[in-house]
Structure 1
């Protein structure tokens, strides 16, 4: 039996941040909690502080929760114009890392979303639809043990 190489998520998100010149890249993974699944940010690159480690999201809440629930990528080109300031408490990673332009993609294991990869900037309008699509294409079909696109499995 052939051994699979170990995938180092921290090194990979550091590499993605450098390659695309993102200010921040993070990986949220599903954690089981009393039979209810929650998402926590496990890895971060370019973080301002350690607050991301304390963020716990449920399906449908926050960026990771929405991407997890829908299984679809999410793009916010300009936080100031795309989100209501009174709703920012629903997006703790945006507040904690002072993100202004970001995108998140679901990571699949089989037919289930098991994680969310988020990349963003601390300046408005740095990530638009074309550059977000380019990022997703360059990311490829696989990210470690996960699939980036639904229906594309290693």
Structure 2
């Protein structure tokens, strides 16, 4: 008999929010290839409204789409000065939730980005580069069935 272990993403993001004092924590997961690898915010805590449910992103669009496409973390210390302008509507989660500073990391599974973990504050400069690095270290090399490639070391490098 194979024992199936399920990971409670909602509980985990609520704990992250509490531990770090974030205003908002969310996970966007990649939908099926038939949907052209569309990303949807699936698990959320600290949300102001249910608008996140209607946000669907393609690779390269929005916070989740950019992190998904590049496979690299994204840090924005001041969303008003760094993102706002003619293309600020390309970041619907930032607008919908009023995020002023945030960071997002890719979540890998089988060497492919399968999700994005977003953390943020509704106050300017709430998330500093040092805090974002500390967050990435604290969540460790594994987040449920996912991992952050930056955290995984290749044994041949040692």
Q: Shared fold by TM > 0.5?
A: yes
Q: TM-score, normalised by structure 1?
A: 0.94
Deviation of residue 34 (structure 1)? 3.0
Cα shift at 1:87: 1.7
SS in 1 for 2:37: strand
Q: Aligned equivalents of 1:68 and 1:16: distance in 2?
A: 21
Preserved contact between residue 99 and residue 120 of structure 2 (Cα < 8 Å): yes
Instruction: Quote the offset at 1:33 in angstroms.
Output: 5.5
Residues 120, 126 of structure 1: alpha-carbon distance in 2 compared, 3 angstrom cutoff: same
Query: 1:114 aligns to what?
Result: 114
RMSD: 1.6
1:73 equivalent in structure 2 = 73
Moved over 6 A (4+): none
Uncovered stretches (5+) of structure 2, i.e. residues with no partner: 154-158
Residue 46 of structure 1: CA displacement?
Answer: 0.3
User: Do the aligned residues in 1 keep the contact of 2:59 with 2:69 (CA within 8 Å)?
Assistant: yes
* Residue in structure 1 matched with residue 98 of structure 2 by the alignment: 98
- Is 2:38 the counterpart of 1:20? no
Determine the C-alpha separation between the residues in 2 that align with 1:2 and 1:129. Answer: 42
- Find the aligned partners of 1:6 and 1:34 in 2 and give their Cα distance: 25
Are the equivalent residues in 1 in contact too, given 2:78–2:100 (CA < 8 A)? yes
Counterpart Cα distance in 2 of 1:122 and 1:35: 31
Equivalent position of 1:127 in the other structure: 127
* Distance in structure 1 (CA, Å) of the matches to 2:4 and 2:139: 20
Q: Is the counterpart of residue 60 in structure 1 residue 60 in structure 2? A: yes
Tell me, which stretches of 5 or more residues in structure 1 are unaligned?
none
Counterpart for residue 140 of structure 1: 140
SS at match of 1:34: helix
User: Quick check: 1:108–1:150 contact (8 Å CA) kept in 2?
Assistant: no
Conserved? CA contact 1:105–1:116, under 8 Å: yes
CA deviation string 1:9-66 (max 9, x = no partner): 0000000000000000000000026351110000100000011011000000000000
How many pairs does the alignment contain?
A: 153
TM-score of the aligned structures, taking structure 2 as reference length: 0.91
